[in-house]
Chain A
Amino acid sequence: MRLKRWASVLFVTCYLLSLTWGTAAHALKFGLCGNTLSYFVVWDMFCGWAAYDNRTHIVGEDAKGNYYEVREPWGAFTPFGNVDRVNYDVSNNLIARHINHVISHTSHPEIDRVYVVQEIWPKQFNVPAHLWSYNFHEPMEKLSYFHLKSICTANGSAIELYPDWFNRQTLLTIADNPRLQQASREAKPYYNTFFDPAANNIQNRFQATSDSNGLITN
């Protein structure tokens, strides 16, 4: 009985410490990077949402130049409504596997290239028609923008990668500034391969046998 009580105390203590760690680390933005377990103790349910909606389209091309919709012919899984699963892959971890999965489970001529395309539109066009006419007082002229995100092989390996539409748009807004453009043109990336600061250490200088001057030429 006493052992059970101590086990309970231990369980309660460990549990409360883990919750405290998660909340404190989340508040201070410290010690959470690259830690899967942090997902279990960090409560960041509202991470912000973009102003533009987006969907992913995957287009396959065979050797004869025919195009195919790389989409599950058995019906895509829609986890939380009516949006296909692949659209929830915000971190691009699924896409290669998804392409390989669909192509390897369907019949088709040999696929040479697969294009991953983002479709983007402003979210105000998600407003239903009756609310649109009440709020916006103008015709609903929805226009979708298509943006090529990557070109892959049939097994999903990327051949060419491009920044996604949101990153590209952000970069464009910054690059819009002529002063920054000028500064970036004048800047020269530099990485010294001739001088090794570690070899400049006095101890190294006397102890090194192969390169006593601290000069490395490879």
Chain B
Amino acid sequence: MKSMQTRRPALFSGIREFFFAEQAPYGIALVRMFLPAVALVPMIRRFGRVRELFSTDGAPTQLFELFGQGTPLPILPPSFAVALYGIMIFALICGVFGFRTRLAFLIGAPLYTYFNLLDAVSTMTKYSVITSHVLLILAFSECHLVWSVDAVLKRWKDGRETSAIPPRVPVWPARLIQILFCFVYFGAAITKIQTQAFFSGEQLRYWMLSNWNYANPIGELMATSTPLLLISGYITVVWEISFPFLAWRPIGRYFALGVGMLFHFITWLSLGLWIFPLICLSCYLAFLMERDIVAIRRFVHRLRLPTSLLGLPRFAIARAIEMRPVAIPASMLWLALATLVAIGAAEADYRIDLYGVRSNNGMMPLKTLDREVALAMINNSRPLREKDKFFSFDIGSMLVGGQLANRLTEYGYGDTIIAQCNINPPHEDLWIEVAIEDSKARIFDSSGQFVTRDSLWANFVYQTGSKMAPGDYWMILKSGGKEISRRPFKLTGDPGSLPPMAPMLTN
């Protein structure tokens, strides 16, 4: 009974300490500087397309429509939409520099979410969702207390002596971002566990060969090595599940965050993702606690790097703001600038003339299409070629997780030859044959097997025995009575080197 009484307050005090310990908000301030800056990259890229993506003069598709919930969000006329978009960009830039930070995020976060919700097809992604979460948390945090224009203005107002000690605030906003990432990774692991063919590498392979993101030459190279994908898949899931259990351990956090950085770097190389990794790495900055910043500062100081230069922009902006008439509060200045940006954005949209109506003295014409080309597209009901049902055909001698781990062209007597074909889903139940042909096109071995529609690969295993003479051979894959692919191999050595077969006993 006594232990229960003592344990319960200890548990609550642990939670209280975890969320409400007071620290200088350096980590969350770094998130404030980096995350909106990264989130702005795709949004600024869409500025010239606001009319098309987010206004009544375009073709927006709300996320609610994808869930069958209609179009509850108001879609604005183009000039108003562009003006609001301009305000969003201005608000997020102010968030980066920390000028009227709370106001900036209270306006910027809902507008960012609104515009993402309006274009579910080409703007809303999971990185937009993560950004919306973090912008919301930033709006209620005290991220403006350090390394911001607001902090500089406050310091000048209060006097330098009082502000030499960094302000300390409850750490819960940083904790929420940290916990968000635990959920993100844990949820992603659940998705992978539930995804058929993730752990055999097929799904990753097809993802890496999809040209839906930016260029990914390393991914295309990796896609041809299934065992590598298989191993990567396992490492990823183990790391994603273990992240919540390691992220707050003294040593474990270095492993969790280090692997996380490596993982996101690899997604950039292999999947052609740019913004997603940068958003995640920006949020990792929330894991930097006060003591980490002190250690980093000491290290940087030892290197004698001119870190004071980093503060120049915010001091310059603060000086410019201080030049306003004393009667005008900084918030009024913020709102006046936002209005100016909104008007400027609407004017810019007018001048951009996206649909080319003014610059072409009328609407632009549709491009004509050659009749034969058009009819070939419309009336084409060609059945799938047999060879297009197969992704690849290879021969090797070793399997890892059911997948061919090596490719060989030369075998000795006693070796195992494994022929493997990978099949593109969806496919019907197939009868697949593999034949061995010698250099004179004589087939001396052929075997087949059923491959059901749920199978993604089939293996054929051969033992090189004394039946085969040294020489050149072909391994031929056939399906539907047609040759799909063939691989050459050479058999070398002396058939007499094989151990004699054990005498067969019959009863």
Contact = CB atoms under 8 A, between A and B. Distances in A.
Interface residues of A, number: 97
B323 interface: no
A177 B429 contact: yes
A41 B206 CA distance: 26
B53 A107 contact: no
Contact of A172 (B184, B196, B428): B428
Given A60-B366, A107-B366, A128 B212 contact: no
B427 interface: yes
Given A36-B63, A94-B59, A135 B364 contact: no
A163 interface: no
A44 interface: yes
Contacts of A60: 366
Interface string A154-196: 0000000000001001101110110000000000000000000
Given A26-B191, A93-B121, A123-B206, 19 more contacts: A23-B190, A39-B124, A41-B183, A43-B191, A53-B210, A59-B369, A69-B367, A74-B356, A74-B364, A77-B53, A81-B211, A81-B215, A81-B272, A103-B366, A107-B363, A107-B366, A119-B377, A143-B385, A169-B426
A170 B487 CA distance: 30
Given A59-B374, A127-B224, A40 B132 contact: yes
Contacts of A146: 376-378, 380, 382
B213 to A, nearest CB: 5
Interface string B23-44: 0000000000000000000100
A206 interface: no
A23 B69 contact: no
Contacts of A27: 187, 190
A146 B377 CA distance: 5
Contact of A67 (B58, B272, B357, B374): B374
Contact of A127 (B52, B65, B223, B356): B223
Nearest to B183: A19
B287 interface: no
Contacts of B384: 145, 169
Given A43-B183, A44-B191, A145 B210 contact: no
Q: Which of A15, A59, A74 has the most CB of B within 10 A?
A: A74
A154 to B, nearest CB: 11
A199 interface: no
B64 interface: yes
Contacts of B67: 34-36, 38-39
Contacts of B123: 79
B68 A34 contact: yes
A199 to B, nearest CB: 32
A30 interface: no
Interface in B433-475: 453
B91 to A, nearest CB: 20
Given A59-B378, A60-B366, A45 B126 contact: yes
A173 B426 contact: yes
Nearest to B391: A124
B199 to A, nearest CB: 12
A78 B164 CA distance: 49
B122 A77 contact: yes
10 contacts: A11-B140, A12-B176, A34-B69, A49-B206, A67-B369, A80-B122, A94-B61, A107-B366, A124-B391, A143-B385
B209 A12 contact: no
B378 A81 contact: no
B382 A126 contact: no
B8 interface: no
Interface of B: 19-20, 42, 46, 49, 52-53, 58-61, 63-69, 120-124, 126, 129, 132-133, 137, 140, 170, 172, 175-176, 179-180, 183-188, 190-192, 195-198, 203, 206-207, 209-215, 217, 220-221, 223-224, 272, 354-357, 362-371, 373-382, 384-385, 388, 391-392, 424-429, 453, 485, 487
Interface string A13-50: 00110011011001100000011101111111111111
Nearest to B48: A77
A74 B66 CA distance: 27
B469 to A, nearest CB: 24
Contacts, number: 258
Contact of A73 (B133, B356, B371, B426): B356
A88 B121 contact: yes
Contacts of B132: 40
A169 B213 CA distance: 26
Contacts of A153: none
Contact of B180 (A19, A166, A170): A19
Nearest to B192: A46
B128 to A, nearest CB: 10
Nearest to B211: A126
Contacts of A170: 426
A101 B220 CA distance: 36
B375 to A, nearest CB: 8
Nearest to A77: B49
Contacts of A19: 179-180, 183
A29 to B, nearest CB: 8
B234 to A, nearest CB: 14
A79 B122 contact: yes
B212 to A, nearest CB: 6
B187 A73 contact: no
A99 B194 CA distance: 36
Nearest to B216: A81
A90 to B, nearest CB: 9
B487 A73 contact: no
8 A-B pairs with the lowest CB-CB distances in the bound complex, closest first: A43-B187, A67-B374, A79-B122, A51-B424, A173-B428, A146-B380, A101-B59, A73-B364
